[in-house]
């Protein structure tokens, strides 16, 4: 403890804390520009100077720790004069163009000038100006406004690690910019706009759209991946009468809304809320344009004479109700299937499954995707819900698969930060694109796509051979170890180099690092478990993590899928073989739910083809577009008697539907979502609906009501217009690990759902046969499906902001391979595999291993599925110009 005197007031504080923090806590204001709690200390703006008795010069309070007996003045004449002179210095070269500056109203320079500057100007010389520079598609640099606080360059060095913005030139000519003034390529650059205390870095997508004081802010959750960052969505009534309206709002009168429309104009990071610390990825920050899009479904549509025409809710709902009722009556409940999306809220999904189980009477519920997991595997995933916070402080990080980087950039960024700033041991096993490669030292495990199971088998082998497992497996759990080892007979580390491309040393040292870590973490995403072996991979991962003790004590595993609420939809029982809370279908806890397991998506497609399935209810998914074999899915769906689609857009699947119902975006609805940690978070209504749509769960409820069934809530007939609270209440009663969940308990930081009560089955033997690398001299390259970091599905494909950000449908070719083929960036090439060919624009990169070609499969313009023979799995190929 230290006793310090602050402006004559004696206070006891912890020694070593910064004067700035101590003074602010004690209620004394100290202005700052360069200081940011989450960035390194720079102490360069000199706004926070204070006077300390016995020290010759004023001291920067942001860089000076308190010491016992210190006497500090924050408002002495010297301090006041120093502040005023810093502001004078900053303003002599500033363009003073506040009237047209986006930052006006939330500008630190404005605010501090207002508060601390002396009146009058003494500068009559020419102001310093810099040339205009192209900063890429999302950023416009107004660098003449820059005050050189270097928050942006510190962010890019310390947090994103991509050095996208740095300091150019020296002294008075110091300019923040990109190396060689080249357009910026970074998925985190939007954060520098938010960090900029003045209007020097502006968002091209927000420029001149609004005065900031006209914006209405709502704290909600980003829908674009499973991290679930806390964002503040800012919307505005766009109207000629906007100002008038705002006044009437303040006066408490209801404004006339007829001629106004509301739009989301920007998203900003809610720093310090939930999992969020300064950063959003640009997909999340700029992915709001689809909400404002004019191509959204505006009203229900019904197929008449083969064409979808606008209809009314009443007509559409009664058609759906009668059609579903008649199919159920004639062909049985099993002939109806329902698919939903990992993007829908918990409420949506809960009501959806309840409708299918209680009203239709079937377990035919699924989420289409690149993998399909049974209940036992999904239960294993419950043990792989590590915390983002853990990644930040881990000392050993293994990333399995490329999609952690492309699908959940924030998690990947934290891994990079841990490695860069704290020297954490970062190991990556990425058969495709490695987005962490550019700036982060790491050990790279080169493995051949398709050998994921072998990678895990090899690591497990190395753990067992090196006795790197938890002590107990050598003793009382030896039997369990034997169970695991029984499946590894086919794994001989020495062969792997040839078979899976794995170096023995790499595998052994990785196993050792994971074992020796005091705080380890393994991250994996969709692409690592995709394919036919999903179940085995998950089970093998579970075995490996169990042996290593990565079940929370010394290490964690984190499954980080692309879909924003995939974890929540699993919790809600969107599956053919389990109910909400992972209750097995047919078990005695299942109660009145149908006893037979339903069809998963892979079974629904053939069932539709051969007539076993007659109707499909689609909530927020577009399998025709996202399927790895589009023709097969389309043909199957065409066979169906009846298709209902509720969505935001006229998707490829909706085009086939008999009834299309307009849903609402995350910004227009409330509800809860669950992130990859199992953190239940709250969506809030950022704006009134732009279309005559309804929340997904409300549509289902209304369909049920039209069928004469009561769905809400607790099976009574109470129908309320906006009943999320009631739905959530029912969820918390039904799903044991959501028992504590209420809107109040969630708050803005979210509430961790507690899955510890769900018992895991004993370890199982997973038979792993070493992957055999296939080779074909006519097809020398490995073609691997990849993902565009700025896109992740139906919403993003219709988001003009994200389409602007995306580099476009590019085929990634490794630089030396490109050179061997005489390729340069932007060339059009043809990729040929045995399954098909694809023409596209090439992008040369060092982020992949030689011999690998990455083709994004989440870019609708690129018909990449043709290359993979309907499996979205790696294949052999070659390039032709």
Q: Please report, as ranges, the residues that interact with another protein according to CB under 8 A.
A: 41-47, 49, 56-58, 60, 63, 81-82, 85-86, 88-90, 92-93, 122-123, 125, 128, 147-148, 167, 169-174
Nearer to another protein, 56 or 476 (CB): 56
The partner residues of 365 in beta bridges, in order of sequence, read 338
| Distance between CA atoms of residues 136 and 408, nearest Å | 22
Contact of 792 with 864, CB cutoff 8 Å: no
Nearer to another protein, 147 or 399 (CB): 147
Beta strands in 541-634 (DSSP E): 555-559, 578-579, 583-584, 615-619
- To the nearest whole angstrom, how small is the minimum distance from the Cβ of residue 82 to another protein? 5
Nearer to another protein, 82 or 618 (CB): 82
Nearer to another protein, 154 or 533 (CB): 154
- To the nearest whole angstrom, how small is the minimum distance from the Cβ of residue 625 to another protein? 48
Nearer to another protein, 86 or 279 (CB): 86
Nearer to another protein, 114 or 123 (CB): 123
- To the nearest whole angstrom, how small is the minimum distance from the Cβ of residue 63 to another protein? 5
> What is the Cβ-side half-sphere exposure of residue 313, based on CA atoms within 13 angstroms?
16
Contact of 158 with 39, CB cutoff 8 Å: yes
- To the nearest whole angstrom, how small is the minimum distance from the Cβ of residue 126 to another protein? 8
CA distances from 231 to 107, 224, 635 (A): 20, 11, 40
The partner residues of 12 in beta bridges, in order of sequence, read 3
- Phi-psi region for residue 768, left (φ > 0), alpha (ψ -120 to 50) or beta? beta
- To the nearest whole angstrom, how small is the minimum distance from the Cβ of residue 815 to another protein? 24
392 sits in which H/E element: helix 388-393
Nearer to another protein, 57 or 467 (CB): 57
| Distance between CA atoms of residues 659 and 661, nearest Å | 7
| Beta pairing class for 852-856 and 810-814 | antiparallel
Give the number of other Cβ atoms within 10 Å of residue 2's Cβ.
Answer: 17
- DSSP letters along 137-157, please? SSEEE-GGG-----HHHHIII
Nearer to another protein, 59 or 563 (CB): 59
Nearer to another protein, 86 or 192 (CB): 86
- To the nearest whole angstrom, how small is the minimum distance from the Cβ of residue 396 to another protein? 20
Nearer to another protein, 85 or 742 (CB): 85
DSSP-derived 3-state class of residue 838: strand
| Distance between CA atoms of residues 72 and 86, nearest Å | 20
- To the nearest whole angstrom, how small is the minimum distance from the Cβ of residue 44 to another protein? 5
| Distance between CA atoms of residues 287 and 26, nearest Å | 40
Nearer to another protein, 167 or 726 (CB): 167
Nearer to another protein, 60 or 529 (CB): 60
Of the candidates 699, 704, 756, 649, the one whose C-alpha atom is nearest the C-alpha of residue 347 is 699
- To the nearest whole angstrom, how small is the minimum distance from the Cβ of residue 112 to another protein? 12
Nearer to another protein, 77 or 171 (CB): 171
- To the nearest whole angstrom, how small is the minimum distance from the Cβ of residue 146 to another protein? 11
Contact of 188 with 162, CB cutoff 8 Å: yes
- To the nearest whole angstrom, how small is the minimum distance from the Cβ of residue 8 to another protein? 23
DSSP-derived 3-state class of residue 649: strand
Residue 13: φ, ψ to 5°: -140, 165
268 sits in which H/E element: strand 261-269
Burial (CB < 10 A; 0-12, 13-18, 19+), residue 651, is: buried
- Residues whose CB is less than 8 angstroms from the CB of residue 820 and which lie 6 or more positions away in sequence, other chains included: none
- Residues whose CB is less than 8 angstroms from the CB of residue 201 and which lie 6 or more positions away in sequence, other chains included: 139, 141, 142, 152, 165, 176, 192, 193
- To the nearest whole angstrom, how small is the minimum distance from the Cβ of residue 147 to another protein? 7
Nearer to another protein, 123 or 208 (CB): 123
Beta strands in 240-395 (DSSP E): 261-269, 301-304, 307-310, 336-339, 365-366
Burial (CB < 10 A; 0-12, 13-18, 19+), residue 8, is: exposed
Nearer to another protein, 174 or 212 (CB): 174
- To the nearest whole angstrom, how small is the minimum distance from the Cβ of residue 58 to another protein? 6
Of the candidates 389, 293, 403, 407, the one whose C-alpha atom is nearest the C-alpha of residue 690 is 293
| Distance between CA atoms of residues 399 and 428, nearest Å | 5
Compute and round to an integer the Cα radius of gyration of the chain: 29
- To the nearest whole angstrom, how small is the minimum distance from the Cβ of residue 750 to another protein? 36
Nearer to another protein, 60 or 557 (CB): 60
- To the nearest whole angstrom, how small is the minimum distance from the Cβ of residue 48 to another protein? 11
- To the nearest whole angstrom, how small is the minimum distance from the Cβ of residue 1 to another protein? 21
| Distance between CA atoms of residues 816 and 813, nearest Å | 8
Residue 38: φ, ψ to 5°: -95, 0
- Phi-psi region for residue 688, left (φ > 0), alpha (ψ -120 to 50) or beta? beta
- To the nearest whole angstrom, how small is the minimum distance from the Cβ of residue 855 to another protein? 37
DSSP-derived 3-state class of residue 377: helix
Of the candidates 690, 694, 665, the one whose C-alpha atom is nearest the C-alpha of residue 287 is 665
């Amino acid at each position: 403890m230290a006793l310090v005197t602050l402006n004559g007031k004696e206070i006891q504080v912890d020694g070593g804390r910064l004067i700035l923090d101590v003074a602010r806590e004690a209620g004394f204001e100290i202005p700052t520009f360069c200081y940011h709690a989450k960035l390194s200390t720079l102490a360069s703006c000199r706004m926070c100077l204070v006077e300390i008795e016995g020290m010759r010069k004023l001291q920067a309070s942001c860089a000076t720790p308190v010491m016992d007996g210190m006497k500090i003045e924050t408002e002495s004449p010297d301090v006041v004069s120093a502040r005023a002179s810093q502001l004078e210095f900053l303003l002599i070269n500033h363009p003073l163009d506040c009237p047209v500056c986006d930052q006006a109203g939330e500008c630190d320079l404005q605010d501090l000038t207002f508060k601390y500057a002396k009146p009058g100007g003494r500068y009559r010389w020419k102001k310093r100006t810099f040339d205009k520079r192209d900063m890429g598609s999302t950023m416009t640099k107004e660098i003449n406004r820059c005050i050189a606080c270097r928050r942006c360059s510190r962010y890019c060095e310390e947090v994103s690690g991509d050095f996208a913005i740095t300091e150019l030139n020296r002294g008075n000519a110091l300019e923040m910019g990109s190396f060689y003034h080249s357009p910026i390529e970074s998925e985190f650059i939007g954060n520098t706009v938010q960090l900029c205390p003045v209007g020097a870095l502006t968002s091209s997508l927000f420029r001149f759209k609004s005065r900031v004081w006209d914006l209405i802010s709502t704290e909600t959750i980003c829908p674009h991946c499973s991290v679930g960052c806390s964002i503040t969505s800012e919307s505005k009534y766009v109207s000629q009468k906007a100002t008038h309206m705002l006044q009437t709002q303040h006066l408490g009168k209801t404004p006339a809304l007829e001629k106004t429309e509301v739009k989301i104009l920007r998203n900003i990071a809610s720093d310090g809320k939930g999992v969020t610390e300064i950063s959003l990825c640009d997909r999340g920050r700029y992915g709001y344009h689809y909400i404002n899009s004019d191509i959204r479904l505006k009203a229900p549509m019904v197929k008449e004479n083969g064409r979808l025409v606008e209809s009314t809710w009443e007509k559409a709902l009664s058609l759906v109700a009668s059609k579903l009722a008649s199919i159920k009556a004639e062909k049985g409940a099993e002939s109806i299937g329902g698919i939903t999306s990992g993007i829908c809220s918990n409420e949506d999904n809960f009501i959806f499954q309840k409708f299918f189980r209680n009203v239709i009477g079937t377990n035919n519920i699924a989420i289409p995707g690149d993998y399909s997991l049974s209940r036992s595997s999904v239960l294993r995933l419950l043990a792989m819900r590590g915390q983002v916070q853990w990644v930040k402080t881990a000392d050993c990080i293994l990333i399995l698969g490329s999609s952690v980087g492309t699908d959940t950039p924030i998690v990947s960024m934290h891994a990079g930060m841990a490695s860069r700033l704290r020297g954490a041991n970062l190991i990556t096993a990425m058969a495709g694109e490695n987005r962490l490669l550019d700036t982060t030292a790491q050990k790279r495990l080169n493995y051949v796509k398709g050998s994921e199971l072998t990678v895990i088998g090899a690591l497990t082998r190395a753990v067992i051979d090196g006795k790197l497992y938890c002590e107990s497996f050598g003793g009382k759990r030896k039997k369990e170890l034997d169970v695991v080892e029984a499946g590894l007979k086919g794994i001989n580390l020495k062969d792997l180099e040839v078979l899976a491309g794995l170096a023995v040393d790499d595998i052994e040292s990785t196993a050792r690092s994971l074992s020796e870590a005091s705080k380890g973490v393994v991250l994996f995403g969709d692409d690592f478990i995709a394919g036919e072996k999903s179940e085995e991979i998950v089970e093998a991962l579970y075995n490996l993590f169990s042996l290593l003790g990565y079940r929370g004590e010394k290490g964690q595993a984190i499954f980080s899928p692309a879909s924003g609420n995939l974890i929540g939809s699993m919790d809600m029982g969107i599956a053919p073989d389990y109910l909400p809370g992972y209750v097995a279908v047919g078990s005695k806890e299942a109660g009145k739910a149908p006893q037979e397991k339903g069809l998963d998506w892979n079974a629904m497609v053939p069932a539709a083809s051969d007539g076993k399935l007659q109707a499909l209810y689609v909530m927020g998914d577009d399998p025709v577009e996202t399927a790895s074999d589009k023709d097969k899915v389309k043909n199957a769906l065409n066979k169906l008697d009846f298709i209902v689609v509720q969505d935001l857009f006229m998707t490829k699947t909706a085009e086939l539907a008999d009834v299309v119902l307009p849903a609402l975006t995350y910004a227009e609805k409330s509800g809860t979502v669950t992130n990859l940690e199992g953190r239940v978070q709250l969506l809030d209504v950022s704006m009134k609906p732009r279309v005559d749509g309804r929340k997904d769960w409300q549509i289902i409820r209304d369909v049920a009501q039209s069928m004469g069934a009561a769905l809400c809530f607790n099976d009574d007939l109470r129908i309320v217009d906006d009943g999320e609270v009631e739905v959530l209440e029912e969820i918390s009663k039904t799903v044991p690990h959501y028992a504590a969940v209420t809107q109040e308990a969630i708050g803005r930081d979210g509430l961790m759902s507690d899955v510890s009560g769900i018992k895991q089955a004993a370890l199982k033997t997973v038979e792993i046969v070493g992957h055999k690398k296939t080779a074909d001299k006519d097809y020398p390259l490995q073609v691997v499906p990849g993902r565009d970091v700025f896109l992740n599905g139906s919403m993003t494909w219709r988001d003009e902001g994200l389409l602007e950000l995306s580099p476009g449908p590019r085929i990634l070719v490794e630089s030396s391979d490109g050179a061997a083929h005489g390729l340069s960036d932007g060339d059009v090439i043809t990729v040929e595999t045995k399954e098909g060919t694809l023409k596209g624009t090439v992008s040369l990169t060092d982020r992949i291993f030689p011999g690998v070609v990455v083709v994004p499969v989440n870019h609708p313009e690129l018909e990449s599925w043709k290359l993979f023979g309907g499996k979205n799995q790696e294949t052999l190929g070659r390039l032709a110009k």
